[in-house]
Amino acid sequence: MSGSKEETVLRALLESADIKINGERPWDIQVLNSGFYQRVFSVGSLALGESYMDGWWECPALDRMFTRLFTHRIHEKAVTVIKSAPWPVLKVLAFNAQNRTKAFVVGKRHYDIGNDLFSAMLDRDMNYSCAYWHDADTLDDAQQAKVELICRKIGLRPGMTVLDIGCGWGGFIKHAASEHGARVLGVTVSREQMEYVKAECREPDVRVELMDYRDLNEKFDAVVSVGMFEHVGYKNYRTYMKTVQRCLNPEGIFLLHTIGGNRSTKSLDPWIEKYIFPNSMLPSARQITNAAEGLLVLEDWHSFGQYYDKTLMAWYDNFTANWDRLKANYSERFYRMWTYYLLSCAGSFRSKMNQLWQIAFSNGGIEGVFRHSDQFLMPALS
């Protein structure tokens, strides 16, 4: 195909989402390198992200551009005319990309890249998952509301034992121990996260281990997993649920907080897979319930993906506001990569292409019901 023909096809695709090339609106794309058309046409979404990282195009409001792309399903229409790299799909079909050895890859390549970056971007307790903005005006308050909501959903009270699978920098486990008197074990595949929690958390009833979830074999009153299930992989969903059941006391509650997709898939966007979250994928509602069927009882399903848009925009504001003190350790290309990551993800939630779910399971059923109101609470425990 000639360059002019490729440009015509890409222009038509974008204009169907009200995005103009070299237009004047904030969500329009400004092409700075004429090789952009051939590059994107040949490789697809991977090249779209890489060409942005390389400075081949600009967009003043990437989040608004991606919202239009996803709302009009341009990523689906483009599959019929634009080639995409097949390797991410072939890889997950042929291999278990999240086996015990590979499970630690995302820790090294994403969560270990620098606590200076995450402390500048996140809230004061370093919660790296969707905040709960229901009655909150600031990121700090919204993240505190999220961890407290989880504590209330699992009926947390002094002396309870809690397992946090994928504990991050310890936002939940510190809150559960200091505010509710729980005894908590957090496990992570990130050495930086483990060392941070050990250094920063002074609560005597908190433990943190560098561990794959499959190696857990201890009983708890409750299990919590916040923003980790996205790294499990479809080949391991059933194993994950079996692990949770094995670790959960008979009357225990499991609270799963995860990003979800509207369709069942076996791969992640190639650009996100390569540059942000290797060996990761988003579960669908069907994949989650199939994995838990016959093992755990579904008690409640709470969807608040609209809050992830607001969370990501708050992270982006913090990241850009603190860039001057971060740039000594990170390149300009990293800045463009991280900007693309945060704003494209904001657009995915704003357009409802991606969801955020908090799902409560029990180990055999519980007495009473979860109350459906502004706050989703466990029934009172006798």
Q: List the catalytic residues.
A: 345
User: Which residues are 164's β-sheet partners?
Assistant: 186, 224
Q: Which residues contact 150 (CB under 8 A, 6 or more apart)?
A: 172, 224, 226, 255, 257, 358
**Cα–Cα distance for residue pair 250/246, rounded to 1 Å:** 10
Residues in the chain: 382
**Cα–Cα distance for residue pair 64/69, rounded to 1 Å:** 9
**Cα–Cα distance for residue pair 46/85, rounded to 1 Å:** 8
Are 14 and 74 in contact by the 8 Å Cβ rule? The answer is: yes
Are 218 and 185 in contact by the 8 Å Cβ rule? The answer is: yes
Three-state SS at 232? coil
Token look-up 């225990």 returns: 252
**Cα–Cα distance for residue pair 268/85, rounded to 1 Å:** 12
Three-state SS at 328? coil
Q: Which residues contact 81 (CB under 8 A, 6 or more apart)?
A: 9, 13, 41
For residue 154, what are its two tokens? Answer: 């699992």
Burial class (CB in 10 A: 0-12, 13-18, 19+), 171: buried
**Cα–Cα distance for residue pair 33/36, rounded to 1 Å:** 6
For residue 167, count other CB atoms closer than 10 A to its CB: 29
Three-state SS at 62? helix
Gyration radius (Cα) of the chain, Å: 21
